[in-house]
Amino acid sequence: MTDFASITPRLAEQAIELPSWAFGNSGTRFKVFGTPGTPRTPQEKIADAAQVNKFTALSPTVALHIPWDKVDDYAALRDYAQSLGVDLGTINSNTFQDDDYKFGSLTHVDPKIRQKAIDHHFECIDIMNQTGSRDLKIWLADGTNYPGQGDIRGRQDRLADSLQKIYARIGDEQRLVLEYKFFEPAFYHTDVPDWGTSYVQVLALGDKAMVCLDTGHHAPGTNIEFIVAQLLRLGKLGSFDFNSRFYADDDLIVGAADPFQLFRILYEVIRGGGYGADSGVAFMLDQCHNVEDKIPGQIRSVLNVQEMTARALLVDGEALTAAQDAGDVLGANGILMDAFYTDVRPALAEWRESRGLDGDPFAAYAASGYQAKIAADRVGGTQAGWGA
Amino acid sequence: MTDFASITPRLAEQAIELPSWAFGNSGTRFKVFGTPGTPRTPQEKIADAAQVNKFTALSPTVALHIPWDKVDDYAALRDYAQSLGVDLGTINSNTFQDDDYKFGSLTHVDPKIRQKAIDHHFECIDIMNQTGSRDLKIWLADGTNYPGQGDIRGRQDRLADSLQKIYARIGDEQRLVLEYKFFEPAFYHTDVPDWGTSYVQVLALGDKAMVCLDTGHHAPGTNIEFIVAQLLRLGKLGSFDFNSRFYADDDLIVGAADPFQLFRILYEVIRGGGYGADSGVAFMLDQCHNVEDKIPGQIRSVLNVQEMTARALLVDGEALTAAQDAGDVLGANGILMDAFYTDVRPALAEWRESRGLDGDPFAAYAASGYQAKIAADRVGGTQAGWGA
Amino acid sequence: MTDFASITPRLAEQAIELPSWAFGNSGTRFKVFGTPGTPRTPQEKIADAAQVNKFTALSPTVALHIPWDKVDDYAALRDYAQSLGVDLGTINSNTFQDDDYKFGSLTHVDPKIRQKAIDHHFECIDIMNQTGSRDLKIWLADGTNYPGQGDIRGRQDRLADSLQKIYARIGDEQRLVLEYKFFEPAFYHTDVPDWGTSYVQVLALGDKAMVCLDTGHHAPGTNIEFIVAQLLRLGKLGSFDFNSRFYADDDLIVGAADPFQLFRILYEVIRGGGYGADSGVAFMLDQCHNVEDKIPGQIRSVLNVQEMTARALLVDGEALTAAQDAGDVLGANGILMDAFYTDVRPALAEWRESRGLDGDPFAAYAASGYQAKIAADRVGGTQAGWGA
Amino acid sequence: MTDFASITPRLAEQAIELPSWAFGNSGTRFKVFGTPGTPRTPQEKIADAAQVNKFTALSPTVALHIPWDKVDDYAALRDYAQSLGVDLGTINSNTFQDDDYKFGSLTHVDPKIRQKAIDHHFECIDIMNQTGSRDLKIWLADGTNYPGQGDIRGRQDRLADSLQKIYARIGDEQRLVLEYKFFEPAFYHTDVPDWGTSYVQVLALGDKAMVCLDTGHHAPGTNIEFIVAQLLRLGKLGSFDFNSRFYADDDLIVGAADPFQLFRILYEVIRGGGYGADSGVAFMLDQCHNVEDKIPGQIRSVLNVQEMTARALLVDGEALTAAQDAGDVLGANGILMDAFYTDVRPALAEWRESRGLDGDPFAAYAASGYQAKIAADRVGGTQAGWGA
């Protein structure tokens, strides 16, 4: 197995963007539970995100969701973030919470509603220009609930047309990233249900359009690392939304449901050249902390990704290739498992300390008193959630 | 195939309970769309439900959900319902929307919270005594999101204990019906995830405890009609919550996603003695009309059940048994399919007319002007939804 | 709804290719049951296939599987087929039953084994030149059983290279059709697991390379008609392998498990221009009659496709579009369901009779005495199966 | 976390039965690959199984499959096994490979075929009396492929009747263990598809009848550890068939597909009192080494179970309960994960050496020369597989 010391330069490259909305309340259609200390404003969300980076040095940027994170002055918001040691990242559009979008947004039969949805993306690009964001991420909730409700083919054509209009506004240093999702909120068909659909749509747009892979948006049993390898091969893997799932789009902490799957995904990321700043692949969390504390939940998440990345970097690639080429099934599998079963936590703690961090970020945050402080300070106002 | 005329007496026995909440707004965690005319009160929900029965003669009762349908005077509510030609049915408890239930209700580690949940069921039984309802239906949202979060075994034991206390209050003519659900809102484990668990829990309670089968609450690929046959064989099928699904608990219109599955389920119901007033099996809808009109959605639903019941009744049982016994695979399958592919709609329309109904209840409702009237009348107030 | 008379010209265009192997024995890894009358030779398989066409006029061609259907003289085999009223169709390659292919064929790390697999396809193309077949269908069993066993990315690259070599031999009037499959016989990863992978591979090859969609080769819950619509939109739907499934690759009679799904698929085929001789989309069965009689099983299958095609043709497209554009969810769904619930069997029987066929091909075949004749005649020899 | 030294007494209790058939060839319906050295006789299978125990001290018994392992003299076979340091274990019946069972065995409509299947189990019990086996394991392949093919209810009743007759012959110290399976070889319905069905059937039999849980026989997404906890709570968990799966009944090496799931299962086994000789729960492998070497595959398998058992034993139960009771979601989950992420391999190697074993059984076997010896010796004859 590769030596831990030799992988620390690569580990130092790691950056995992945090979603502002992970710090607000979330839940299911049945109930959203509130918690003391939940942010009320974009600023408070960013302050919480900065705590994650303070203790882990893993999350230098925060993604915004428009309109949930709308402010009057994005330059000021950026300054504020930078003053806390983080920067603003991906801008996420939202075309699923306006009554006009009941039957679609970029795919709607009515050109006026399509234009409204396109205009919303223009607004997002304007914000990107102010925040200095590189990526516009589009997750499309469009779809239908009943066979016959919509014209699947027509909707796909209209989607292509709408995306083309948005893409035309994307700046030279910017990218459009299109996310796919198997189902929900639509239950019969989703207009971008799989990587194939996202791929053909972004391929038609051009080089600045890429696929976003959310680890929770696949059919049961899907081999996600295969998709990672394929998209890297095609040069079209733009970003990850990390989370985990047992059933549907559970949005649990990344690595919580199937840590071995996360390991395999990260192994293919590295093997395919998708790791590191130059790769062009953005790593991001997209999770819902419905019943657990949010800041510690995010800390656990970035640590999970870091620990699994370390394990994946430890794989002895040369030995693996030799075993694969020899048809040594158990040997090859054993080389992979050897890295997975290695406990990287002590070495990571030591390395963190060598960089001036606490060896145990989770405990250090808990001891910091921040949680008690925000619970005491953030009284009144409306706690942030998926509506704000 | 059996003659249509010979099955009309059986069809006349059909009764499908409507859920009051189907007339309120519903949606996903992403968005709940409102609609003009949505009820603001339990009375308005009942009025809408009565429309379904008026045009179909299929839905003589309305299920209530407590606390969503709490009123001061249940006797008056019952009188009101009866004045509209319907009666009150099953009482559904709710232990998932109070902050105290974040980590469980009947299974909670804290005896005070368990008692609160038990007391809520006592309140439901009190209401049943006023409404004359037979069934107390318990759908338990309890579960955990992360491995280790709870003690699966301890929770099961506490559930048994809590149910025992509730069951002790169930009257001689009343029943406790325990619903199971594969997942959601909990994403790692659900305390009553499958028919087996519901069965062992109600078996421990006694004769007045039964299983509720919601057609949308199973793992992908589950053969639901097998469970129907098994529960009827064991004498423990208490009720159905009808709806349909492509993916998770989609709560679509019953029969919309897989009409052939609905046919197979109804065939096993009939074959196993679960059809008709004396069977003790209650038929109920449990659906979410997220994007379609609610009253027409309910009309379509009861018609779907009626049409499939007619098809299932048409199966030539004698010929089927002969083919089965002869090992004639294609012959036996063909006999079943022959009934399924028969278009029963014209005969049903004729039969409806013979009973003083409109042959096309869906069109008749649309022509009635009721929808326009409620849209005009129900202005102001708060539209009913899953929170009220 | 559209008038039945108006759709008969379209129905007359229907042609569904039969797989020669459907007439041989098949089963599971647990057991293959034999049956009296099972063919021993390619000629006998073709004779059986010709029976299906004789009674239905729906299956003018028979697909061959190499090496199962190897003969010395393909011209003679073609003459024989034509003498029975059918022609030879698609040639299917086989790179999964030779010991050399244990760890892959077109993707193998060893260039000699890859070349062997490529050579096999050259042989298939030679046969196509003799049989006059248009399509070379490649279903690739390649994949791995354990994480780490193979290099997913390297295998994909080698696949592309191998396909390129095969494609270079494809004649001007020929096509290469690449099938995808979610899993089995490989259980960790499959080298062509989804439509996206098949699409990117054939896109890289050129205009004469197309995707084959087998209806049983998807993850649970996959919306197959969406894929149909997408591939038709992209101009890359080459052919269908029809069958049905409840769980995995069950290979049951098409339409047996979910007739409504078959209807939706055929509706999208028609709506997207994939129906009819000029469409370039080939319809084929790919089934296993493990426990039912094979010839009647094939007859039932082509009738199922015909009946569902008729229903799909009956959809009132104009009314549907109007309802879709109006956001009338229940109306649009109702228009689709109206066609689905229509019993087209009497009209089809009548139409068949008008064309000189028996109205009930299933019964007519049973009455023909063919089954008894082959059971009596085909004594001795080795019954055909997946090994021959 | 619990100290490793404190768990070694518990680890010493571990015993994992090996299936004789794991040493024979297996594959899929597409192909069974042979390997040099594959056993030709029950004796050679036992000799191979003894190798696994020799290097791991984890597998003191070997399960037999009748008729695959039929011999004239079972006492001699037992003596032979004991001479190699192992004993004979569970007897597995087989009612899926005889032509008579095409449409069922214990559930068949024909009483003569049912009796034949019952008689086969009587024969198995006779063998148990000679081998000294405690458990008769029944996995029933019965089911149907098409709706209508069989009478689901009637089959269940006949199954109950047949099992009653078999159970009546079970000796005082013997047990009947009934396995369930979601699907395959039947594709529409399986007569014992889920734990609930197995449970109600064995409950009706009596105290000596138990449920067998095969980890690969569940619907996608099923929470298996919940079933473990439930069956232990009900006192009806008789045995495990360990293996792993990504898709269907893949029969891969236990722990290979989802090691964290194996950990959770073993944690619930221990927490519920199902671990250790006195627990009455039998641990067994049931796997197919289709592409990997068989003896090393079995060694890897028992080591995987041992390593995960060690991790599960390391969970700090007291701390976990405290965190659970405090509603500390992340803390409780963290305690579980801490044990899972611990690398127990060095401590296990050391402990093995203290018991006179090689620290690395996998490498020690490879170095032993046994594989080369059997490859050279076992020439001629028919390699064992699922047919023999």
List all residues 6 or more positions away from A296 whose beta carbon is below 8 Å from its beta carbon.
A362, A365, A366, A371, D330
pLDDT for D2: 85
Pairing of strands A87-92, A16-19: unpaired
Q: Which one, of D100, A128, C331, lies nearest residue B296 by Cα?
A: C331
Report helix, strand or coil for B136: strand
pLDDT for C22: 97
pLDDT for A277: 83
pLDDT band at C1 (very low <50, low <70, confident <90, very high): confident
- pLDDT (tens digit per residue) in C210-242: 999 999 999 999 999 999 999 999 999 999 999
- Is pLDDT at B387 greater than 90 in this prediction? no
- pLDDT (tens digit per residue) in C286-331: 999 999 999 999 999 999 999 999 999 999 999 999 999 999 999 9
Question: How far is residue A332's CA from residue C119's CA, in Å, rounded to a whole number?
Answer: 29
Question: How far is residue D87's CA from residue D131's CA, in Å, rounded to a whole number?
Answer: 9
* Radius of gyration over every alpha carbon of chain A, rounded to an integer in angstroms: 21
- pLDDT (tens digit per residue) in D119-144: 999 999 999 999 999 999 999 999 99
A156 contacts on C by Cβ (under 8 Å): 229-230, 233
Nearest to A320 among C148, C193, C219 (CB): C148
- According to DSSP, residue D27 is labeled B
Nearest to D187 among C97, C183, C250 (CB): C250
- Is pLDDT at C69 greater than 60 in this prediction? yes
pLDDT by position in tens, chain D (length 388): 889 999 999 999 999 999 999 999 999 999 999 999 999 999 999 999 999 999 999 999 999 999 999 999 999 999 999 999 999 999 999 999 999 999 999 999 999 999 999 999 999 999 999 999 999 999 999 999 999 999 999 999 999 999 999 999 999 999 999 999 999 999 999 999 999 999 999 999 999 999 999 999 999 999 999 999 999 999 999 999 999 999 999 999 999 999 999 999 999 999 999 999 889 999 999 999 999 999 999 999 999 999 999 999 999 999 999 999 999 999 999 999 999 999 999 999 999 999 999 999 999 999 999 999 999 999 999 999 986 5
Measure D292 CA to nearest chain A CA, in Å. Answer: 6
Write the ipTM. Answer: 0.97
- The interaxial angle of helices B42-56 and B74-83, nearest 10 deg, is 30
- Beta-carbon pairs below 8 A across chains C and D: 105
The verdict on a CB contact (< 8 Å) between C26 and D29 is yes
Measure C267 CA to nearest chain A CA, in Å. Answer: 10
pLDDT band at A2 (very low <50, low <70, confident <90, very high): confident
Measure D88 CA to nearest chain A CA, in Å. Answer: 27
Q: Which chains contact C through at least 3 pairs of Cβ atoms less than 8 Å apart? A: A, B, D
- pLDDT (tens digit per residue) in C150-190: 999 999 999 999 999 999 999 999 999 999 999 999 999 99
- What is the rounded average pLDDT of the residues A263-290? 96
- pLDDT (tens digit per residue) in B77-105: 999 999 999 999 999 999 999 999 999 99
Q: Which chains contact A through at least 3 pairs of Cβ atoms less than 8 Å apart? A: B, C, D
- pLDDT (tens digit per residue) in A216-249: 999 999 999 999 999 999 999 999 999 999 999 9
Q: For chain A, what is the mean pLDDT?
A: 97
Chain C contacts in chain A segment 298-327 (CB below 8 A): 320-321, 323-325, 327
Q: Mutation target for B interface from A26, A29, A386: give the one with most B CBs within 10 A.
A: A29
pLDDT for D277: 83
The verdict on a CB contact (< 8 Å) between B150 and D337 is no
A195 phi and psi, to 5 degrees?
Answer: -65, -30
Judge if the upstream peptide bond of residue D185 is cis by omega within 30 degrees of 0: yes
pLDDT for C277: 82
- What is the rounded average pLDDT of the residues B245-255? 97
Strand partners, B271: none
pLDDT for A145: 98
Q: What is the dihedral of CA A123, A126, A132, A138, to 10 degrees?
A: 30
Question: How far is residue B93's CA from residue B121's CA, in Å, rounded to a whole number?
Answer: 6
Chain B contacts in chain A segment 211-240 (CB below 8 A): 220
Strand partners, B241: B214, B284
Which single residue is written with the structure tokens 């179909």? Answer: B56
Q: For chain C, what is the mean pLDDT?
A: 97
Q: Mutation target for D interface from A245, A330, A348: give the one with most D CBs within 10 A.
A: A330
Q: Mutation target for A interface from D341, D365, D371: give the one with most A CBs within 10 A.
A: D341
- Is pLDDT at A303 greater than 60 in this prediction? yes
Chain C contacts in chain A segment 79-118 (CB below 8 A): 102-103, 109
How far does Cα A235 stand from its chain's mean position? 19
- According to DSSP, residue A344 is labeled -
Query: Touching check for A342 and chain D: CB below 8 Å?
Result: yes
D17 phi and psi, to 5 degrees?
Answer: -70, 140
Q: Mutation target for C interface from A187, A200, A236: give the one with most C CBs within 10 A.
A: A200
- pLDDT (tens digit per residue) in A341-373: 999 999 999 999 999 999 999 999 999 999 999
B342 contacts on C by Cβ (under 8 Å): 343
The verdict on a CB contact (< 8 Å) between B185 and A27 is yes
C92 contacts on D by Cβ (under 8 Å): none
The verdict on a CB contact (< 8 Å) between D259 and A256 is no
The verdict on a CB contact (< 8 Å) between D272 and B153 is yes
How many CB atoms are located within 10 Å of the residue B239 CB?
A: 25
Question: How far is residue C81's CA from residue C77's CA, in Å, rounded to a whole number?
Answer: 6
The verdict on a CB contact (< 8 Å) between D252 and C183 is no
Token reading at C355? 């064309």
Question: How far is residue D335's CA from residue D317's CA, in Å, rounded to a whole number?
Answer: 9
- pLDDT (tens digit per residue) in B108-134: 999 999 999 999 999 999 999 999 999
- What is the rounded average pLDDT of the residues C193-201? 98
- Is pLDDT at C388 greater than 80 in this prediction? no
To the nearest whole percent, how much of chain A has pLDDT over 90?
A: 98
Report helix, strand or coil for A280: coil
D260 contacts on A by Cβ (under 8 Å): 258-260
Token reading at B41? 């009160």
- According to DSSP, residue B335 is labeled H
List all residues 6 or more positions away from B112 whose beta carbon is below 8 Å from its beta carbon.
none
List all residues 6 or more positions away from B124 whose beta carbon is below 8 Å from its beta carbon.
B66, B91, B92, B93, B136
C182 contacts on A by Cβ (under 8 Å): 221
- Is pLDDT at A140 greater than 60 in this prediction? yes
Q: Which one, of A109, A98, A106, A112, lies nearest residue A166 by Cα?
A: A106
pTM of full prediction above 0.90 = yes
Nearest to C152 among A200, A226, A325 (CB): A226
Nearest to B187 among A183, A250, A386 (CB): A250
Measure A200 CA to nearest chain C CA, in Å. Answer: 9
B341 contacts on C by Cβ (under 8 Å): 307, 343, 345
Domains, chain D, in order of start with CATH, read 6-376 (3.20.20.150)
For residues C267 and C312, the answer to whether their CB atoms sit within 8 Å is yes
Which single residue is written with the structure tokens 């992908």? Answer: B220
Three-state secondary structure readout of D146-181: CCCCCCHHHHHHHHHHHHHHHHCCCCCCCEEEEECC
Q: Which chains contact D through at least 3 pairs of Cβ atoms less than 8 Å apart? A: A, B, C
Nearest to D300 among A258, A297, A330 (CB): A330
- Is pLDDT at C91 greater than 60 in this prediction? yes
pLDDT for D302: 98
Question: How far is residue B26's CA from residue B32's CA, in Å, rounded to a whole number?
Answer: 6
- Is pLDDT at A388 greater than 70 in this prediction? no
- According to DSSP, residue D281 is labeled P
pLDDT for A1: 80
pLDDT for B371: 96
